[in-house]
Amino acid sequence: MLQHLATVIDGLDTRTIALVTSTVFFAVTSLLLFVYFTRKTHSGFGYWVVWQLCAMIGLMLFFGRGPQPAAVTVILNNLFALTAPAFLFHGFARFFGFYEKNRILIWTGYLIAFAAVAAQSWFLLAHPDQQARAAVFFATRAILLLRCALEPLQHAAARNSSVFRIVACIGVVLAGNDLRQVWQGNDLRGEADIFASADIKIAMLAAVVGDVVAAYCLLLLRSERLEAELRDARQDIEKLARTDALTGLWNRRHLEDIVRHEVERARRYHQPVSLMLFDIDHFKSVNDRFGHGAGDEVLRRIGALGQRSIRASDIFGRWGGEEFFILVPSTVLEDARQLAEKLK
């Protein structure tokens, strides 16, 4: 089956593959740019857009080179192609929030890419060796892709994301293909025949599939983050709706809901439940004499005192005005009276 697949790939027209690959990369780049400029994005998404732009430009330069490309074209091709995964990693670091206090670990990817381009320039200008250039390119890209795939997994935010685990798998597969190219030695017979190489065709097909899936996963990461923010916002709104703004205690709405639940539970399991209501004596005179600011401080302190005086299972809140409530599950009337005396 693998031999049949290799025969099919070898029969494909390279220029057609190049056209399809370029079209796909351009479409993906346009999509990411559209999302970046028209939708809410998070820290790091901009670096992902730059990753895609660099990958697309590097691909265009590669496809646009002739049988004897100018040295500057080859150098720029390698520069854009190798800095692309460095930008991808930078985006992951910003998105998941790691290496914020040690930025040099982020910039290491760019240094690796620049060093590789310098080495390739040596094998292009000072000591021409196409095989060495190809080995440096594939080895460097494999290192950078493995870094994108594996290093973020050391941090909980990336490790807990099912979407990122898919991205990591893609990175490992693409890096494995690059390492295969290094291991097999890239039998390229010269610049004139480079596009006839089966390895180049496989690399282009892998680039198309990997780019589309990776970009889709990046958009999924954005959606995953938005969904988490919406869940947190809903929880915050729900808590605000059930919390007294002045004291931070539960409010009357929460009490009404929890009382129904506790009464039903007490009936089902034949357990006692008690509810206490109390107010602050002469509270109006405090407001009249010292002002509403002092009255608010009294309410806050009463709330804090009550919180320290009850059990973890008790529900303490503000009923309204200077009135407070305490719901004490699994407590008989006499025990509830003793708690009331303690608070008093």
Catalytic annotation on 322? yes
For residue 250, count CB atoms less than 10 angstroms from its CB and return exposed for 0-12, middle for 13-18, buried for 19 or more: buried
In the block, tokens 């898919």 appear at 166
Whether the CB-CB separation of 78 and 131 falls below 8 Å is answered with no
**Cα separation values, 31 from 20, 215, 344, Å:** 17, 9, 66
The tokens of 123 are what?
């094998």
Within the chain, residue ranges assigned H as helices are 2-11, 14-38, 45-64, 71-96, 104-121, 130-150, 156-159, 162-184, 198-241, 252-269, 283-290, 292-309, 333-343
Whether the CB-CB separation of 275 and 262 falls below 8 Å is answered with no
Choose, from 100, 256, 264, 322, the residue flagged as catalytic. 322
Whether the CB-CB separation of 163 and 224 falls below 8 Å is answered with yes
Active site residues per annotation: 322
